[in-house]
């Protein structure tokens, strides 16, 4: 257990994020960095960006509820303390994405209304499946749902967004790189801690597999909504702004149709699920395609 | 549009103030000042002058055991409270508190390990006072009962004030490593107490009937707290006249909210 204590200790966390990549940032980015004009000056692009950021807040709120809710269900001290650092990470993510909404012009008093208006119902369903497990203090399902399914999804989405933003929006790319670093730790904990627990509780497998299948379905439905109804690409084209030729998973995002991008993201996440679940002894279940 | 009524302006300023002090950013800049350069709550170069005599050493281990159980209660309480917190801002503040309490627990367990305890969590549970364990149980009951005001009162006012008073008294006469660890914890606890007072102060102002309910919670918990103070004072070697001072320091926090 000694190794786990060190790797997942709060001491390790203090050294690896506040004293490292968060130094000299404000709400996750450099104090001078700003959202670019092509977003702020175009109503359609601005609304799409707000909509996309709302999904991030919704996802992070779910992660915050899940990680804090799992602390009292954790069977050992080291897991509790790791989850304490994760709780703070997730709270930070909620905060930085909320601040992005403010930077995009959402008024503080309109925050909840904006979130309600734009939150994708499929993402809300996805979150509900996980939070139901957390409410029941089901640690094994909760950690798989959170640290493998939710985090795995977040990780890939952030990476794709990072690739798209890096050439054109240094501020948001900076925010994303910090969250990606956090999520990487969270995913690592899920794999390391839960493998042995699954071995101890093989009877949990069918329930966990069913949860993964359901969550995956609602994740794909969220992706479908996000890409298929997105006006950003058309709008940028109409305005004569060339999309950056960002590379993600070996493809050029600057030349792809939204449906193709959706496909690449979905395939990447599902492949990741399969690998990670395999490592902890859970059989990946193919979800229905929305 | 005319000028906004004075109260509204005041509320807005207050909102802005809360927005700042309850944020991750605020927490981050606060702890940066006193945690950077420390490992498990103290600087590496601090000389470990812990008690060498077997009796004193055992004494310190017992005291730390009680602190650990107090911090476990705070970790469980703060994390459970996130689920019932009324808004995003309070959820974020409580998340910083969760990390603080987790850190407190970690540095104290680590200190016990330094003192030769092989399984500090188990040892803490074995040695901690019954009153403290009962308090932990009561606190969780309030959190699980989703009673926001009562749980915040029990945790961020009563428990935190007790810890604050005891840690401060102990730090005065402690060995250098233990003192540094406690000084860092005290700085965090001050933020937690501030949150509790702020959150409840406003609610008590807006809904005076809450006071009656909280007075009842206090009645139920007070004897546990005063017993714990008595025990802790004895263990950390507080002189009898300072004992009254400790009790007063605890009572003052509660009185600041108008409970006499
Ligand atoms: Fe997150
Ligand atoms: Fe995460
Ligand atoms: Fe504490
Ligand atoms: Fe505290």
Pair A150, A216: CB distance under 8 Å: no
Distance from Cα B51 to the centre of ligand 4, integer Å: 27
- Counted domains in chain A: 1
B5-45: pLDDT as tens digits: 444 556 667 777 777 888 888 888 788 778 888 889 999 89
Is the minimum CB–CB distance between A87 and chain B shorter than 8 Å? yes
Q: Considering Cα of A276, then A277, then A280, then A283, what sign does the dihedral take?
A: negative
Q: Residue A102 domain-assigned?
A: yes
Helices and strands per DSSP (H, E), number in chain B: 11, 0
Task: Sort residue A206 into left (φ over 0), alpha (ψ -120 to 50) or beta.
Answer: alpha
**A80 within domain boundaries:** yes
- Range of the structural domain that residue A73 is part of: 2-279
**Polymer length of chain A:** 290
In a domain? residue A16: yes
pLDDT at res. A17 = 67
Q: If DSSP codes are grouped into helix, strand and coil, which group holds residue B83?
A: helix
pLDDT at B11: 66
Does B83 contact A90 at a Cβ distance shorter than 8 Å?
no
In a domain, A22, yes or no: yes
Which residue among B40, B79, B121 sits closest to A77, beta carbon to beta carbon? B121
- Digit-coded pLDDT (tens) for B109-134: 999 999 999 999 999 999 998 889 99
User: Rounded to whole angstroms, how far apart are CA atoms B225 and B153?
Assistant: 13
pLDDT of residue A3: 37
What is the third-level CATH fold of B16-32+50-256? Ferritin (1.20.1260)
CATH code, domain carrying A181: 1.10.620.20
Q: Look at B257 and B35; give whichever has higher pLDDT.
A: B35
CA A268 to chain centre: 14
Ion ligand 1 — residues with CB < 5 Å? A 60, 63, 90, 93
* Residue ranges in chain A modelled with pLDDT below 50: 1-5
Mean pLDDT over B131-148 rounds to 94
What is the ipTM for the molecules in this complex?
A: 0.92
State how far the Cα of B72 lies from the Cα of A96, in Å rounded to an integer: 29
3-class SS at A196? helix
pLDDT at B46 exceeding the cut of 80: yes
Mean per-residue pLDDT of chain B: 87
Q: What string of H, E and C letters represents the secondary structure of A51-99?
A: HHHHHHHHHHHHHHHHHHHHHCCCCCHHHHHHHHHHHHHHHHHHHHHHH
Give the pLDDT confidence score for residue A4 in this predicted structure.
39
CA distances from A232 to A207, B90, B231 (A): 39, 35, 66
**Nearest-CA distance A162 → chain B (Å):** 23
CB of A280 within 8 Å of a chain B CB? The answer is no
Q: Which residue of A has its CA nearest to B85?
A: A65
A-chain residues near B23 (CB < 8 A): 95
């Amino acid at each position: 257990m000694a190794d786990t204590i060190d790797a997942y200790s709060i001491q390790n966390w203090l050294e690896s994020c506040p004293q490292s990549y968060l130094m000299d940032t404000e709400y996750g980015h450099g104090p001078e960095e700003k959202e670019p004009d092509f977003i702020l000056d175009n109503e359609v692009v601005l609304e799409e960006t707000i909509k996309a950021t709302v999904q991030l807040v919704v996802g992070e709120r779910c992660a915050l509820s899940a990680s804090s809710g799992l602390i009292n269900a954790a069977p050992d001290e080291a897991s509790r303390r790791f989850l304490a650092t994760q709780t703070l990470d997730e709270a930070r993510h909620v905060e930085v994405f909320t601040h992005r909404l403010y930077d995009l012009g959402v008024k503080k008093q309109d925050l909840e209304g904006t979130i309600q208006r734009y939150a994708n119902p499929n993402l809300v369903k996805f979150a509900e499946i996980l939070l139901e497990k957390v409410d029941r203090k089901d640690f094994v399902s909760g950690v798989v749902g959170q640290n493998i399914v939710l985090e795995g999804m977040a990780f890939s989405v952030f990476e794709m967004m990072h690739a798209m933003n890096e050439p054109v929006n240094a501020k948001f790319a900076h925010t994303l790189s910090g969250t990606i670093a956090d999520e990487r730790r969270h995913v690592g904990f899920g794999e390391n801690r839960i493998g042995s627990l699954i071995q101890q509780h093989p009877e949990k497998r069918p329930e966990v597999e069913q949860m993964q299948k359901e969550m995956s379905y609602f994740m794909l439905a969220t992706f479908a909504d996000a890409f298929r109804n997105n006006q950003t690409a058309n709008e940028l084209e109409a305005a004569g702004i060339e999309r950056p030729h960002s590379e993600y998973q070996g493809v050029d995002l600057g030349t792809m149709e939204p449906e193709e991008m959706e496909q690449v993201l979905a395939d990447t996440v599902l492949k990741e699920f399969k690998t990670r679940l395999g490592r902890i002894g859970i059989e990946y279940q193919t979800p229905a395609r929305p | 549009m005319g000028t906004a009524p004075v109260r509204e302006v005041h509320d807005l300023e207050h909102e802005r103030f809360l927005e700042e002090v309850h944020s991750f950013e605020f927490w981050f800049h606060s702890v940066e000042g006193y945690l950077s350069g420390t490992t498990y709550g103290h600087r590496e170069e601090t000389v470990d002058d812990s008690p060498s005599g077997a009796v004193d050493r055992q004494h310190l281990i017992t005291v730390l055991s009680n602190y650990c159980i107090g911090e476990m209660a705070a970790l469980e309480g703060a994390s459970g409270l996130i689920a019932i917190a009324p808004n995003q801002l309070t959820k974020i503040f409580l998340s910083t508190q969760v990390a603080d309490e987790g850190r407190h627990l970690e540095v104290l367990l680590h200190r016990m390990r330094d003192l030769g305890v092989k399984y500090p969590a188990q040892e803490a549970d074995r040695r901690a006072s019954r009153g403290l364990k009962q308090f932990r149980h009561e606190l969780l009951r309030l959190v699980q009962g989703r009673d926001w005001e009562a749980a915040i009162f029990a945790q961020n006012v009563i428990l935190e004030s007790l810890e604050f008073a005891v840690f401060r008294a102990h730090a005065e006469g402690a060995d250098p490593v233990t003192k540094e660890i406690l000084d860092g914890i005290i700085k965090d606890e001050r933020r937690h107490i501030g949150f509790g007072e702020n959150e409840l102060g406003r609610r008590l102002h807006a809904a005076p009937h809450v006071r009656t309910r909280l007075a009842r919670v206090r009645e139920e918990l007070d004897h546990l707290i005063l017993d714990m103070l008595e025990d802790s004072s004895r263990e950390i070697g507080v002189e009898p006249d300072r004992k009254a001072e400790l009790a007063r320091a605890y009572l003052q926090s509660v009185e600041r909210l108008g409970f006499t």
